[in-house]
Amino acid sequence: MSLETRKQLGIWGILAIGFVIGFAVASGATKPEPTALASADADANAAPRYSPVKARDRDFYTPNSEDLGPNEMRLLACGTGMPTARPKQAASCWLLELGNGDKFIFDVGTGSAERISAFQIPYNYIDKVFLSHLHTDHFGDLDALFVGGALAGRQKPLRVWGPSGDTPERGTKYALEHLEKALTWDLDGRKGLTDPRGYHFEVHEFDYRGINQIVYQENGVTIRSFPAIHSLDGPVSYSLEWNGLKFVFGGDTFPNKWFAEYAKDADLAIHECFIAVPDMITKFKFTPQSALLVGTQIHTAPEAFGSVMSMIKPRMAVAYHFFKDFDTTPEISRRIAKTYDGPLSLAVDYMVWNITKDEIRVRMANVDEDVWPPPATEKPQLPDASLRIPYSKQISGGKLDMKNVIQPTYDEINKKFRLTEEQD
């Protein structure tokens, strides 16, 4: 056998061995290369062996990218800022997902509906809203979630829980009845055009004075309310207990005895922490008198936030209700540290907490700005054309004749979906 022939056979032999090894790895016959961490029997000081083709562990959360464990909570920050929404931070809104499939929205402040949509959760799954009080920075986007959610696939009423007021006119029921009246033109204009089932509220008003009262109990989930102290009588805080885990949302409140008692043993406790008084004066241009009153008496100052958290000792404390900027965050951190040294998150929009009995993982979400509504979970109901409200003769008489221009679209859709639709 010539030298050249031996060389060729050697090359083919190497290729054949490579093919066998590759097939064995692909079929699971041998252990594949670790994707992110060094193998258990590797030298502890050796560099991790990263695969050139397999995914590595992420240090951020991408919507629809990971399962939620059966014993796990996931909290999504959809609004963490101040009464004036801004691109970086919408007003108060928190979306809590449970491993049993339940999802709850706590507050839906101005600008937050956009954040909710970014997490790409089918709207049929987010039909339960709990309002802490009726300031617009805590329910100002309820109309957007109500109408937009129905248009984008919520095929059931939007269920809303909220406190009464010291008068009927200051309660949740009154607010939502009049919100629906304010939307009369909007809702009438959709009759006979879209699936009608989502354009309804189901309101559950409860006594704001109830102390640790059960306001919701379904599917193994218990939600309780207790009074909060903010602006007027009426605001409340909530606790949610499920599967041995406890989540507490304070809403807006001055530090109070009820939170100090009923937020104890929380796995994750959210409490407002308003911007420091000096920054209210320099940034918001408040007078010193107003800054002191609003920043320390109507809201909770950072030092007071820390004091409350030192009392209840949660596994994780979450501070919100301030503009989290490079020049405001250090001062808030410094002031909290005067009275609290436990686990802490200074919240900003799109922050995500995964909560189990073993750990609390905190990350930022990586969201797509070009999202479309997620798919509906049920078959859409066809609209009843007889419910459409016609234009007046004056307005309908202003239409230009576009039938020839539009007819090809009708022909295309009718052919594709085997329909016989006709223009008005």
Q: Which residues pair with 75 in a beta bridge?
A: 96, 353
- pLDDT per position as a tens digit, 91-111: 999 999 999 999 999 999 999
| Tokens matching residue 404 | 């020839």
- pLDDT per position as a tens digit, 237-255: 999 999 999 999 999 999 9
Scan for tokens 């809303």, then name that residue.
160
pLDDT of residue 40: 43
Compute φ and ψ for 34, nearest 5 degrees: -55, 145
Residue type, 85: A
| Strand boundaries in 209-287, DSSP class E | 213-218, 221-227, 236-242, 245-249, 268-272
pLDDT of residue 424: 87
pLDDT of residue 57: 82
Which residue, 139, 129, 142, 140, is CA-closest to 103? 129
Scan for tokens 């594949």, then name that residue.
32
* Separation of alpha carbons 121 and 66, rounded Å: 13
Taking domain 73-364, whether its CATH number is 3.90.580.10 is answered by: no
Half-sphere exposure of 344 (CA within 13 A, CB side): 23
Which residue, 320, 324, 318, 251, is CA-closest to 283? 324
| Tokens matching residue 395 | 């307005």
Scan for tokens 């010539």, then name that residue.
2
- % of the chain residues with pLDDT over 70: 89
Residue-wise DSSP of 295-347: IIIIS--HHHHHHHHHHH--SEEEEESS---TTTHHHHHHHHHTT--S-EEE-
Pairing state between β 158-163 and 201-206: parallel
8 A C-beta contact, residue 177 and residue 169? no
Angle between helices 172-182 and 142-151 (to 10 degrees): 60
Q: Which residues pair with 129 in a beta bridge?
A: 105, 160
pLDDT of residue 48: 73
* Separation of alpha carbons 93 and 402, rounded Å: 44
Scan for tokens 């083709």, then name that residue.
53
- pLDDT per position as a tens digit, 132-174: 999 999 999 999 999 999 999 999 999 999 999 999 999 999 9
Per-residue pLDDT of the chain (424 residues; tens, 9 = 90+): 444 444 444 444 443 434 333 433 333 333 334 444 444 444 556 777 888 898 888 899 999 899 999 999 999 999 999 999 999 999 999 999 999 999 999 999 999 999 999 999 999 999 999 999 999 999 999 999 999 999 999 999 999 999 999 999 999 999 999 999 999 999 999 999 999 999 999 999 999 999 999 999 999 999 999 999 999 999 999 999 999 999 999 999 999 999 999 999 999 999 999 999 999 999 989 999 999 999 999 999 999 999 999 999 999 999 999 999 999 999 999 999 999 999 999 999 999 999 999 999 999 999 999 999 998 899 999 989 899 999 999 999 999 999 999 999 999 999 999 999 999 8
- pLDDT per position as a tens digit, 308-322: 999 999 999 999 999
8 A C-beta contact, residue 224 and residue 213? yes
Model-level pTM greater than 0.75? yes
CB neighbourhood size of 342 (10 A): 13
177 SS3 class? helix
Distances (CA, A) of 217 to 204, 213, 220, 269, 309: 13, 11, 7, 20, 27
Phi-psi region of 351 (alpha: psi -120 to 50; beta: other; left: phi over 0): beta
* Separation of alpha carbons 185 and 204, rounded Å: 25
Half-sphere exposure of 58 (CA within 13 A, CB side): 12
For residue 239, the surrounding DSSP H or E stretch is strand 236-242
* Beta sheet of 93-98, edge-to-edge order: 201-206, 158-163, 128-130, 103-108, 93-98, 73-79, 351-355, 360-364
Which residue, 59, 92, 146, 68, is CA-closest to 349? 92
Compute φ and ψ for 351, nearest 5 degrees: -75, 145
Compute φ and ψ for 344, nearest 5 degrees: -150, 135
| Tokens matching residue 87 | 């691109």
Rg of the chain, C-alpha, whole Å = 28
The stretches of 52-123 forming alpha helices (DSSP H) are 112-118
